Amino acid sequence: MDPADKILLDHGSGGRIAHRLLRDLLLPAFDNPALAELNDGAILEVEGSRLAFSTDSYTVDPIFFPGGDIGDLAVNGTVNDLAMCGARPLALSAAFILEEGFPLEDFRRILGTMARAAREAGVAIVTGDTKVVPRGAADRVFINTSGIGLIPPGVRVASHRARPGDRILLSGSLADHGVSVLAGREGLAFQTTVQSDTAPLHRMVAAMLAAGGEAVHVLRDPTRGGLGTALNEIAESSGVGVLIHEETIPLKPEVAGLCELLGFDPLYLANEGKLVAFVHPEAAEAVLAAVRADPAGRDAAWIGEALAAPAGRVVMQTRIGGRRIVDMLSGEQFPRIC
């Protein structure tokens, strides 16, 4: 590593460069089997029961965006990380880093959102911490939440369990969160009515597992890095090929419009209330029905299938009938004109 190297924004983008940071620095530093699994949360065996344990820090600009704020993200994000392990969330912690001068009014509003989100998710925030740093040492407010959850017996979802023949389900329209945040970002001056999709998914997951049991092989919430990155991660850890069909992917017209205007690929924009599932075909219809019964899953659709080859690769059949490779996000997307 070059001593002049610094952390870039790209290191946090959830794409390939973030992966490299994880692989080269974090994994060797903390070296242990639970971490090496690289699931959304760690799975710990404790006296016969299996606990899921997950943590995430939240920074977002703007902190209030259409459809939510940083508080929703902090609660739902960790609830969802637990849910993607197949767990029922038990309790959350919340820690705040506040910038000197941050308006109390805004802080109060965020706490209110968090309390509401926790209530809606049916999980309590049971411990926390607050630190204040001098002006300029943080951007307004950063939140960390951690959570523990209980994995019911018989549930075995993990990102390496995708098998050729699995069908791939997306629980709703793509990239709503990413677009709502972008549109709200200062300076770009776009007006949309797209709202962030932030929502807790653990009830949907519980219904899916009740309907499909072990046939639900993989669950993943495609947050930073988007669907494209999530599918690549699954393809890599399961050693399967993934084929998706562009025209089956639900996408709101406004989301498509903003992506066209700014040159973004919706496959790489963040989602905060969506999941992608790899399901054995025998349980496919039952699982889809379970997802559609959830308000956050009404637009769920089958978007593709896992194949034996090309292992570790994601291929998309385009709307016009062509084929292309879908790689991981290779750096935060910037609005472009070319």
How many residues appear in the chain?
338
Stretch near other proteins under the rule CB under 8 A, chosen from 4-12, 67-75, 110-118, 154-162: 4-12
224: contact with other proteins by CB under 8 A: no
Question: Cα–Cα distance between 71 and 62 in angstroms, integer?
Answer: 12
Q: Which of 44, 124, 137, 261 binds other proteins (CB under 8 A)?
A: 261
336: contact with other proteins by CB under 8 A: yes
- What are the C-alpha distances in Å from 140 to residues 98, 112, 113, 116, 133? 6, 17, 17, 21, 10
> Which tokens hold the place of 129?
């911490």
Residues 57-116 that bind other proteins (CB under 8 A): none
Helix (H, G, I), strand (E, B) or coil at 114: helix
Beta carbon nearer to other proteins, 47 or 186 = 186
Q: How far is the CB of 9 from other proteins (least distance, A)?
A: 7
> Which tokens hold the place of 88?
């029922």
Q: Which of 192, 213, 293, 299 binds other proteins (CB under 8 A)?
A: 192
Question: Cα–Cα distance between 93 and 3 in angstroms, integer?
Answer: 36
Question: Cα–Cα distance between 300 and 283 in angstroms, integer?
Answer: 15
Q: How far is the CB of 98 from other proteins (least distance, A)?
A: 22
191: contact with other proteins by CB under 8 A: yes
Beta carbon nearer to other proteins, 130 or 193 = 193
- What are the C-alpha distances in Å from 207 to residues 135, 167, 198, 216, 275? 46, 18, 19, 11, 13
Q: Which of 38, 262, 286, 293 binds other proteins (CB under 8 A)?
A: 262
338: contact with other proteins by CB under 8 A: yes
Residues 149-188 that bind other proteins (CB under 8 A): 183, 187-188
Q: Which of 251, 286, 293, 307 binds other proteins (CB under 8 A)?
A: 251
DSSP type of residue 10: G
> Which tokens hold the place of 162?
């995708």
For every residue of 223-260, DSSP letters joined together read -TTHHHHHHHHHHHHHT-EEEEEGGGS---HHHHHHHH
253: contact with other proteins by CB under 8 A: yes
For every residue of 267-306, DSSP letters joined together read GGS--SS--EEEE-GGGHHHHHHHHHTSGGGTT-EEEEEE
307: contact with other proteins by CB under 8 A: no
Q: Which of 99, 106, 120, 254 binds other proteins (CB under 8 A)?
A: 254
299: contact with other proteins by CB under 8 A: no
Q: How far is the CB of 328 from other proteins (least distance, A)?
A: 9
Beta carbon nearer to other proteins, 55 or 59 = 59
Size of the site for other proteins (CB under 8 A): 50
Per-residue contact string for residues 309-328; x = within reach of other proteins by CB under 8 A = -x--x-xxxxxxxxxxx-x-
Stretch near other proteins under the rule CB under 8 A, chosen from 13-21, 56-64, 108-116, 127-135: 13-21
* Burial letters 222-253, b for 16+ CB under 10 A, else e: bbbbbbbbbbbbbbbbbebbbbbbbeebbbbe
Task: Please report, as ranges, the residues that interact with other proteins according to CB under 8 A.
Answer: 6-10, 15-17, 20, 183, 187-193, 251, 253-254, 256-258, 260-263, 265, 310, 313, 315-325, 327, 330-331, 333-338
